[in-house]
Amino acid sequence: MATTVVLIIAVAAVAFVFYWSSRFGDRRRGSGMSLRRGSHAHTTSRGQPKRGFSSREDAVASAQSMSKRGADQLSAYRCDTCGKWHLGH
């Protein structure tokens, strides 16, 4: 009996998480944590905060400058969470 109760609670918890993430993880969300991108939405693989650019042109110029200095090839993308432009691989 206890196993059945635990199983029902686990299934309900999973169903709630899927419901909540589909409702609040929408790409049109204005601010906050992006559920589609996970907890590292605004940090690099080293844990540093990502720099946000106000325009695509600024981000591309920074990526080209970094490439000239020997960094990996970077591309600019618009962030679904904050709406700014970031650089990524």
Task: Answer yes or no: are the C-beta atoms of 18 and 11 closer than 8 Å.
Answer: no
- Cβ-Cβ contacts under 8 Å for 55 (sequence gap 6 or more): 85
Share of the chain above pLDDT 90, in %: 20
- Could you tell me the pLDDT band of residue 21, with boundaries at 50, 70 and 90? low
Residue 18's pLDDT is 74
Q: In angstroms, rounded to a whole number, what is the distance separating the alpha carbons of residues 89 and 73?
A: 7
Q: In angstroms, rounded to a whole number, what is the distance separating the alpha carbons of residues 6 and 46?
A: 38
When mean pLDDT is compared across 6-10, 40-44, 78-82, the lowest value belongs to 40-44
Can you give the pTM of this predicted structure?
0.50
- Cβ-Cβ contacts under 8 Å for 40 (sequence gap 6 or more): none
What is the number of residues in the chain? 89
pLDDT in tens, 35-70: 445 545 677 777 777 888 999 999 999 888 887 777
